[in-house]
Structure 1
Amino acid sequence: MKWRLSQMKIVTIIPAFNEEKTVDSVVKGALEHGDVILVDDGSTDRTGAIAESAGARVLRHRKNMGKGAALKTGIKEALKWEYHLIVFMDADGQHDTFLIPLFAEAADGADFIIGSRFMGDSCDSMPIQRKLSNRITTWILRFATGYRITDSQSGFRAIKAEHAKIMLDIPYNDYVYESETICEISRHRLRIAEVPITCNYGDEKSYIQLGDVFRYILFIMRLFTRKLSLKPV
């Protein structure tokens, strides 16, 4: 189904945890292209209140449940309304909201769109450890899914609302959720595309713990097992 860009109803889902310094500008920028649902994932600062004042529809978790859980909460809310496209972006100011129309344009030929930092100039300023881990994970997901993607770890993404329900079935609630999303898209044989994005790296915080690393290693091992166990037709 195709829509004119001006007729497309867009909602941006923003998961947020203690991002009171940047959330106002992120919400206001995203509102220029449609509605905004912000999921306050147990913040202990004024993130939710600031987002609400900026114009976002705010949903709150009483405690921090993880990015995957926040995204699923946002999707459930978005599916109550008649949106055409659901955009996902972070609250820390990394993503440039003026690029949201690129995702809408790409939705004419794809069901799921990833904003790739490796198609633009952002990978030049990406911290080296992040660049390395992204390259490795992207290679593994390309192997597991067959998609010729360049940036599997980008949090700036979009999906046609008609397909978003499949993202609710993903069992992970931590950052593994975003990698498993690509596998879920592959299992449903949806069309995937990438658009070039810029990214602003500053003093963003990392909430990844040692336990998260072990869980991600287990996830990668399951990917290999899943791929190698497939029998040729």
Structure 2
Amino acid sequence: MEQAENPSAGRLLVIMPAWNESASVGNTVTEVIRTVPNCDVLVVDDGSTDNTADLAEAAGAAVLRLPFNLGVGGAMRAGYKYAQRWNYSQAIQVDADGQHDPKDLINVVKGLEVADISIGARFAEKGNYEVRGPRKWAMVFLGWAISRIAKTRLTDVTSGFRAANTRAIAQYCEHYPAEYLGDTIDSLVVAVRSGLTVTQVPVEMRPRQGGQPSHNPVKAALYLGRSGFALLIAMTRKKTRLAGTEGAAE
């Protein structure tokens, strides 16, 4: 019997991790679908205690409900498992709070024409996004360090606005850590050291469309030390052998 074609094959999956984002998730899903009508949107409800999941579903997203809060890393790993299970060829992370402008989404995905991972970079000569103090020092250091590992200039390695092709999706399913900064620093370093390529695309950031920012002055002060520790941990991870990559080792 001939197997029916999977309707998701070749399509773009937008993965939107969300934890108590009822103030913005509905509008964000609606805007993504309106701007990129040929995509599918998956909201990973990360153990929310509000009606985030119901609002996302009402706006047209598929919803994966996690029984308790895993953090962004755990939610994204679940999203990539979904992408792999349903044979999506491309996936992109978009924040539920509306800071990632859907008008930049396709340009970030187009970066996959030249690399396995495409990062929407906030510090690449577009927009006026600024950070100061310890967070800025950390981002400059991390950008310099990971650029050397990736052998390409990267200015915003902590950006969550990033796209993945099938090779990157497969690697993420095997290794996508849930630790602090693991979803950005750790996942990127291990992917690059395992043979995947990365590029960046300039994007503009917007203010949150609802809810409260997750950062405060105390967290900002701790960011520098934690980011350096995250990089150190990432460099100790075992490389993953992927089909079609060269230079990867056990």
Mapping of residues 29-108 of structure 1, within 5 Å: 29-32=31-34, 33=36, 34-108=39-113
Alignment CA distance shift 1:224-1:79 (3 Å): closer
Identity level (%):
30
Alignment CA distance shift 1:82-1:110 (3 Å): same
Q: Which residue of 1 aligns with 2:232?
A: 221
User: Are the aligned partners of 2:186 and 2:234 in contact in 1 as well (CA < 8 Å)?
Assistant: no
Q: Which residue of 1 aligns with 2:3?
A: none
User: Are the aligned partners of 1:39 and 1:60 in contact in 2 as well (CA < 8 Å)?
Assistant: yes
CA deviations over 1:29-57 (Å, ceiling 9, x no partner)? 22242001110111111111110111111
User: Are the aligned partners of 1:86 and 1:158 in contact in 2 as well (CA < 8 Å)?
Assistant: yes
User: Structure 1 residue 134 and structure 2 residue 139: aligned?
Assistant: yes
Find the aligned partners of 1:35 and 1:100 in 2 and give their Cα distance: 13
How far 1:135 moved relative to its partner? 1.6
Alignment CA distance shift 1:219-1:205 (3 Å): closer
Q: Which residue of 1 aligns with 2:17?
A: 15
Q: Which residue of 2 aligns with 1:199?
A: 205
Of the candidates 194, 200, 205, which is equivalent to residue 188 of structure 1?
A: 194
Find the aligned partners of 1:144 and 1:56 in 2 and give their Cα distance: 36
User: Are the aligned partners of 1:87 and 1:157 in contact in 2 as well (CA < 8 Å)?
Assistant: yes
The TM-score, its normalising length taken from structure 1, stands at 0.82
Equivalent residue letter for 1:9: R
Find the aligned partners of 1:79 and 1:58 in 2 and give their Cα distance: 16
Find the aligned partners of 1:200 and 1:80 in 2 and give their Cα distance: 32
Find the aligned partners of 2:207 and 2:137 in 1 and give their Cα distance: 16
How many residue pairs match? The answer is 219
Q: Which runs of 5+ in 1 are unaligned?
A: 1-6, 227-233
Equivalent residue letter for 1:89: V
User: Are the aligned partners of 2:46 and 2:66 in contact in 1 as well (CA < 8 Å)?
Assistant: yes
What is the root-mean-square deviation in Å for CA atoms of aligned residues? 2.7
163-172 or 193-202, larger mean C-alpha shift: 163-172
Q: Which runs of 5+ in 2 are unaligned?
A: 1-8, 238-250
User: Are the aligned partners of 1:176 and 1:216 in contact in 2 as well (CA < 8 Å)?
Assistant: no
Find the aligned partners of 1:133 and 1:19 in 2 and give their Cα distance: 27
Q: Which residue of 1 aligns with 2:182?
A: 176
CA deviations over 1:97-153 (Å, ceiling 9, x no partner)? 12111123222222110001111434x332314333322222222234433211101
**Which 4+ residue blocks in structure 1 deviate beyond 4 angstroms?**
207-217, 223-226
Find the aligned partners of 2:151 and 2:11 in 1 and give their Cα distance: 30
User: Are the aligned partners of 2:186 and 2:231 in contact in 1 as well (CA < 8 Å)?
Assistant: no
Q: Which residue of 2 aligns with 1:231?
A: none
User: Structure 1 residue 125 and structure 2 residue 129: aligned?
Assistant: yes
How far 1:211 moved relative to its partner? 9.3
How far 1:168 moved relative to its partner? 2.1
The TM-score, its normalising length taken from structure 2, stands at 0.77
200-209 or 106-115, larger mean C-alpha shift: 200-209
